Structure 1
Amino acid sequence: MTESDVEAMARLRVAAFFEGSARTPDEDAAGLRRLLAGDGFETALEARIGEVSVGTCLLVRHELEPSHDLTPWLAGLVVDRNHRNKGIGGALVRAIEAHGASIGAERLYLYTWEARDFYAGLGWVVVEPFEQDGHPMQLMVRELRL
């Protein structure tokens, strides 16, 4: 992801994950910019078709605090509705896994409920079910081949 894509990806992320919350696209864009300016461990990847940004996925150190003291995490996978079911989400996940392996991570974690079958189909394994803010979730892990 580059600076020129941050605004579009922030709008996509807010619509997907933060609808009805106080989180604004400007706040999300600021978080994405911090990832881009970081040390290279955390990252924000983007999928494009031509000049159009169609999806994003993150690798972050911390997620779900204080529920789990694990790291690193695959987070924020989202693909624009008009481009779903075309392999873009899977490609973003594989790119995050490759990034994780390149920085020396032995495994990645994520949490999901609605997309649990999608991730299982990509080789992710359920570690435990849990509840977050009154909603069912599953903690999943993916062992990386170094």
Structure 2
Amino acid sequence: MPQMDWLENHMDKCDQMAEWLHQEFSYEFAQQSLASWQQEFAAGQRDGHWKCLIATEQDQLLGGVSLASDDLPDRPELGPWLACVFITPTARRRGLAAQLIEGICNHAREAGFTTLYLHTHNQRDYYTGLGWEVLERFEAWGKEQWLMSRQL
């Protein structure tokens, strides 16, 4: 059975999570090396900038979701953000992403936030099913994107 915990308690898995994110969202990291992102992501576990909730099973990393202080350079007035949603392909279709997303939403609510934001280029319908609302459509990184929010 998968276990959920903060990545900061499992920093031996931080570089792997950062590598998966760098590969999955390569269009966002076009100007940033993997090593630089791994350093930023690790620092973000300590300072809260990329606070990541992960799922593991038998000490194997299955994926994670982050609460980011900012995730869209063109919209600095918005935040915090649900970001870095990734489940390894072999662990998909088990509801892990939804559980991790709820964990981040609960944490943000307990921290006093009332709204979370996210942007996606291909998962609008998935997030709508989880209670997120589309705010606007925009272009970024050469892709159509959807800016969404969820009231906590």
TM-score, structure 1 as length reference: 0.89
Tell me, yes or no, if the aligned pair for 1:59 and 1:74 is still in contact at 8 Å: yes
The one-letter amino acid paired with 1:8 is Q
| Structure 1: tracts of 5 or more residues without a match | none
Partner of 2:45: 36
Q: More displaced, 79-88 or 2-11? A: 2-11
State how many pairs are aligned: 143
Identical-pair percentage: 28
Query: In 1, Cα distance between the equivalents of 2:106 and 2:49?
Result: 12
Partner of 1:83: 91
Partner of 2:33: 24
| Cα deviation, residue 41, structure 1 | 7.0
Tell me, yes or no, if the aligned pair for 2:139 and 2:145 is still in contact at 8 Å: yes
2:101 matched to 1:93?
yes
Note the 1:1-146 alignment, pairs <5 A.
1=7, 2-18=10-26, 21-38=30-47, 40=48, 43-67=51-75, 69-144=77-152
| Cα deviation, residue 24, structure 1 | 3.4
Partner of 2:4: none
Query: In 1, Cα distance between the equivalents of 2:113 and 2:151?
Result: 9
Residue by residue, what CA displacement relative to the aligned partner does 1:62-103 show, whole Å, maximum 9, x if unpaired? 111124520100011000011111101111111110111111
| Structure 2: tracts of 5 or more residues without a match | 1-6
Tell me, yes or no, if the aligned pair for 1:14 and 1:25 is still in contact at 8 Å: yes
Tell me, yes or no, if the aligned pair for 1:60 and 1:73 is still in contact at 8 Å: yes
TM-score, structure 2 as length reference: 0.86
Tell me, yes or no, if the aligned pair for 2:41 and 2:50 is still in contact at 8 Å: no
Tell me, yes or no, if the aligned pair for 2:50 and 2:66 is still in contact at 8 Å: yes
Cα root mean square deviation, aligned: 1.8
